[in-house]
A and B are shown apart, each in its own frame.
Chain A
Amino acid sequence: MQNAIEIRGLVKRFGDFTALTGVDLTVARGERVVICGPSGSGKSTVVRCIAGLEIPDGGSILVDGHPVAQSRPGEVGMVFQQFNLFPHLTVLENLMLGPMKARGLSRAAAEARARALLERVHIPEQADKRPAQLSGGQQQRVAIARSLCMEPQIMLFDEPTSALDPEMIAEVLDVMVELAEEGMTMIVVTHEMGFARKVADRMVFMDRGEIVEQGPPGPFFAAPRSERCRAFLDRILRH
């Protein structure tokens, strides 16, 4: 079976700073990969490259066997730390914009799909509100639904709970767990290690622009092989 994502020798520089020094990563269809690492380690840059938001300076990225630039609109869904909902549109319109403009769906078809997805992220009653009227947790669930509206093959999450108040983190993670249980291919950049233990098929630890260590969550958490990974896990799991 074709891999969902194949990354070879990915290099990305920002001016003099090299964010990625040559990353190889393969993700199978239906696989859930959680990427963790200290800030500035390049984990966000990896998912932003896969989403086509950054142009790599070297290496290749294949999504379902073809280059990122040739992927179908919305094939790779992305959820941002800051939600990035469109503030001038209602929740429903946020969801309908992509299907209508990028896919040419009729208004009625787009609305039906949008309402079904709001149901799935448990906020059907918020359809006609503006994003600013929603809590952070609700906004992030709308953002997830907005991506799902495009029927993505892969969902990328870039620290989806980092901007949320603690009491709202669970409602977003619950939706992500459900998504994982339905078999969605997911790459999640997060520090939520409870979530990682629960859904990850594979853990990836990045530091200074490279993948230092990866493997199934059990051994990864119990006995990290590298000193850098052990130090990092010690720091974030201490409390």
Chain B
Amino acid sequence: MRRLAPFLLLPLLAGCAASQAWGWYVIDPTTPQGLTNVRFLLGGMGETVLMSVLAAAASMVLGLMVALPALSGHRALRIVNRVYVELIRSIPLLPMLFWVFYGLPLLFRAMGLSIPIDPFWGAVITLALSDSAFTAEIYRAGIQAVPRGQAEAARTIGLSRVQTMRYVILPQAIRRILPPLANQFIYIVKMSAFASVIGMQELTRRANELAVTEYRPLEIYSFLILEYLALVMVISAGVRWLERRMGADERG
């Protein structure tokens, strides 16, 4: 059904095109101005993808660092994990973005550090931070879902704690972790639209700018939505491929 959605959407839009509300000329690639506009809009694709990929990679590393204390026998370490997860995931993305972009440089300056934060890195840091709480929960759930008997069996054949994690638990947990992690990437891509607010020239920002100059928000934002739809469909296909592969491995 999801695969069919854009095809169902197209005739709908085409039907609407006849009505007076629509003026598709603004993004009609057969006209010089329309082509320029389409190129301008698509030009944000690189920034959106790069921001999302970097944020997702950072979130994966950060998430593991946050998740491991949760599996520890020490109460204090588990509390550190809980506080981080509860705090980070309760902050809405936009305020966090403002805090990182406008606030953090002041904090750095007060500490005598000169670390400039441009819109790109401001957005990457915020997206990674915000997502890491969810990534950490995915890791934790994945590792805890491996039956206890696995670690017990590993112990009776003499494996150490670290060996048990490395050769028995993690290889099984990764099958449960990777698909939801890839799924989480879809959220990062969508949330990256907030970067437009701090002046990042990605997909949404470009659409905003064009809509203001061309007075054609309906067509331009429709196009924007289709851009995200295309991106997410590519990622979804990747997630399904990953799920199939992981599942096939499990069945041997």
Contact = CB atoms under 8 A, between A and B. Distances in A.
Given A53-B155, A74-B157, A101 B149 contact: no
B158 A87 contact: no
A97 interface: yes
A72 B157 CA distance: 10
B142 to A, nearest CB: 13
B248 to A, nearest CB: 11
B152 A84 contact: yes
B163 A51 contact: no
Contacts of B150: 84, 86
A170 interface: no
A129 interface: yes
B250 A132 contact: yes
A79 to B, nearest CB: 9
Interface in A60-75: 72-74
A13 B15 CA distance: 73
Contacts of B158: 72-74, 98, 101-103, 150
A85 B153 contact: yes
A60 to B, nearest CB: 20
B81 interface: no
The binding surface of chain B is classed by DSSP as helix
A131 B168 CA distance: 14
Contacts of A82: 147, 149
Nearest to A100: B167
Contacts of B156: 51-53, 74, 76-78, 147
Contact of B149 (A77, A84, A146): A84
B126 interface: no
Contacts of B154: 86
A88 B155 contact: no
B214 interface: no
B152 A88 contact: no
Given A53-B156, A146-B157, A97 B251 contact: no
Which of B147, B158, B250 counts the most A-chain CB atoms under 10 A from its CB? B158
A204 B154 CA distance: 28
Contact of A52 (B147, B149, B155, B168): B155
Interface in B170-199: 171-172, 175
Given A74-B158, A97-B167, A98-B159, A129 B149 contact: no
The binding surface of chain A is classed by DSSP as loop
A130 interface: yes
A67 B162 CA distance: 23
Contacts of B171: 88
B157 A147 contact: yes
A77 B158 CA distance: 9
B24 to A, nearest CB: 53
B149 to A, nearest CB: 4
Given A88-B171, A129-B252, A150-B158, A101 B153 contact: no
Interface in B65-87: none
A149 B157 contact: yes
Given A53-B152, A84-B149, A133 B252 contact: yes
A88 B171 CA distance: 7
A80 interface: yes
B250 to A, nearest CB: 7
Given A130-B252, A132-B250, A133-B252, A97 B149 contact: no
29 contacts: A51-B156, A52-B156, A53-B155, A53-B156, A73-B159, A74-B157, A77-B156, A78-B152, A78-B153, A82-B149, A84-B153, A86-B154, A87-B250, A88-B175, A88-B249, A88-B250, A98-B157, A98-B159, A101-B159, A101-B167, A102-B158, A102-B159, A102-B163, A130-B252, A132-B250, A132-B251, A132-B252, A146-B153, A149-B157
Given A84-B152, A133-B252, 16 more contacts: A52-B155, A53-B152, A74-B158, A78-B156, A84-B147, A86-B150, A86-B172, A97-B157, A98-B158, A102-B159, A132-B250, A132-B251, A132-B252, A146-B157, A150-B157, A150-B158
State the 9 A-B residue pairs at the shortest beta-carbon distance, nearest first. A73-B158, A130-B252, A98-B157, A102-B158, A84-B153, A84-B149, A74-B158, A78-B156, A88-B171
Interface of B: 147, 149-150, 152-160, 163, 167-168, 171-172, 175, 249-252
Interface of A: 51-53, 72-74, 76-78, 80, 82, 84-88, 97-98, 101-103, 129-133, 143, 146-147, 149-150
